[in-house]
Amino acid sequence: MRISVIGCGYLGAVHAACMAELGHEVVGIDVDERKVAELSAGRAPFFEPGLPEVLGRALDSGRLRFSTDLADAAGAEVHFVAVGTPQTKGSHAADLTYVDAAVEGLLPYLSDGDLVVGKSTVPVGTASRLSELVRASSGADLAWNPEFLREGFAVKDTLTPDRFVYGVARGETGERAAAQLDAVYATALAAETPRLVTDYATAELVKVSANAFLATKISFINAMAEVAEATGADVTQLADAIGYDARIGRKFLNAGIGFGGGCLPKDIRAFQARADELGLDSLAFLADVDAINLRRRDRVVALAGELVGDLAGARVAVLGLAFKPNSDDVRDSPALDVARRLRASGAIVTAFDPEANATAGRVAPELEYATDVESALRDADVVLVLTEWTEFRELDPAVVAGLVSHARVVDGRNTLDSVAWRAAGFDYRGLGRP
């Protein structure tokens, strides 16, 4: 099948490469010339495990190409819209400028029977509005097919997702759209991946409610961390114990400095903003979810301050800048935010991330970046582990003790072995742990 993918960011670049891997003929289109040049040369513009390999194979096969010209979408039967929906400046609502521009830009190149497929995360109501636009100006139709991929596992999540959700129009046009998507995803469907066909509003809501649920789960355990801190309990044991209840489950119950990234924070804010527009109080609790999450950053800065006495002039080693491991993404990263706050409090911050030094350096040039973990640790008065990279989890506390000037550590992700670090002489502080 001939496919176009509009927008080649974290979502679109992976989607384009994976669709070609599945045997489709794909053109990825993006306005960013540099990104298109990088992708055309087989280089992923961001760190994503497995992507360079899939990209290389797809380009070699001749089934994948990239372009800056929307006219190159002409001739494809299915057009995926995978552009960003960032938070609007000065408001919590989603900024739909790029989605609107992509769909409007596609209109002249659509043929009868084509299907425009929205993958971007949008406020409920968007698909219905855009479907009218598409139908009014072409013989094409529109479906909404939300994407649930996790950064760090994007290739796997795209090739073998948990489920497919198709939001389609009612009646025959919707059935035809579902059949077109079935043809696109034939490989995964043959492996019995669940597939739900819904109306537009449900499909849009599935995505934002999934992210709201995950954010709530993380903030729930971080709220328990606050209670644990006040009572001397250990939130990691609490999470293990409640996680054995299959109805609760242990996943997404890791307390620490909280969630960040390009999705969860902005999506829960946009979801609340949309509920407000609809005159609903139903999502008011998401303001607490957001607030609990942001308070964790204050807590970790306070813990570092407690350990060194005065942050001004203290040498702080920050290990981790990405919003999570196996990613170089620092969008709304709690780790980078904490590093910048420490610096703003007068600390001398030396940061190191195995992949995110460069992306962090572009937004936070005021920080010092070390080229390896040892140089970040050398002579530190306190060490903060803020992203749970394997490299940090596997640090030998005895070796670290030999590098730092004071053996103090804040485990912002509750990822270190507290017994081993204490045995090596460290004043160890976890989040929500005694």
Site string for ligand UDX, 162-201 (x = CB under 6 A): ----------------------------------------
Residue 403 Cβ, how far from ligand UDX at the closest point, in Å? 26
Of 151, 290, 328, 411, the residue at the interface with ligand UDX (CB under 6 A) is 151
Distance CA 13, CA 36 (A): 10
Q: Determine which one of 64, 149, 221, 263 is catalytic.
A: 263
Residue 172 Cβ, how far from ligand UDX at the closest point, in Å? 31
Cα-only R_g, the chain: 23
CA distances from 235 to 22, 213, 383, 430 (A): 43, 20, 21, 10
Smallest Cα–Cα separation from 2: which of 20, 29, 21?
20
Q: Which amino acid is at 351?
A: A
According to DSSP, the residues that pair with 2 across neighbouring strands are 25
Burial class (CB in 10 A: 0-12, 13-18, 19+), 119: buried
Which positions ≥6 away from 327 have C-beta within 8 Å?
Answer: 47, 48, 151, 152, 261, 355, 356
Distance CA 272, CA 116 (A): 27
Residue 220 Cβ, how far from ligand UDX at the closest point, in Å? 10
Residue number, 138 or 211, with CB nearest to ligand UDX: 211
Residue number, 126 or 211, with CB nearest to ligand UDX: 211
Smallest Cα–Cα separation from 47: which of 177, 156, 195, 152?
152
Site string for ligand UDX, 203-222 (x = CB under 6 A): --------x--x---x----
How many CA atoms, within 13 angstroms, populate the side-chain half-sphere of residue 32? 13
Residues 111 to 150 in contact with ligand UDX, rule: CB under 6 A: 147-150
Residue number, 200 or 259, with CB nearest to ligand UDX: 259
Residue number, 138 or 222, with CB nearest to ligand UDX: 222
Residue number, 30 or 267, with CB nearest to ligand UDX: 267
Residue number, 252 or 361, with CB nearest to ligand UDX: 252
Note if 8 is an active site residue.
no
Site string for ligand UDX, 312-341 (x = CB under 6 A): -----------xx-----------------
Binding-site size, ligand UDX (CB under 6 A):
20
Residues 240 to 299 in contact with ligand UDX, rule: CB under 6 A: 252-254, 256, 258-261, 263-264
Give me the DSSP letters along 349-396: EEEE-TTTHHHHHHH-TTSEE-SSHHHHHTT-SEEEE-S--HHHHT--
**Active site residue ranges:** 263
Name the residues that contact ligand UDX, by CB under 6 A: 147-151, 211, 214, 218, 252-254, 256, 258-261, 263-264, 323-324
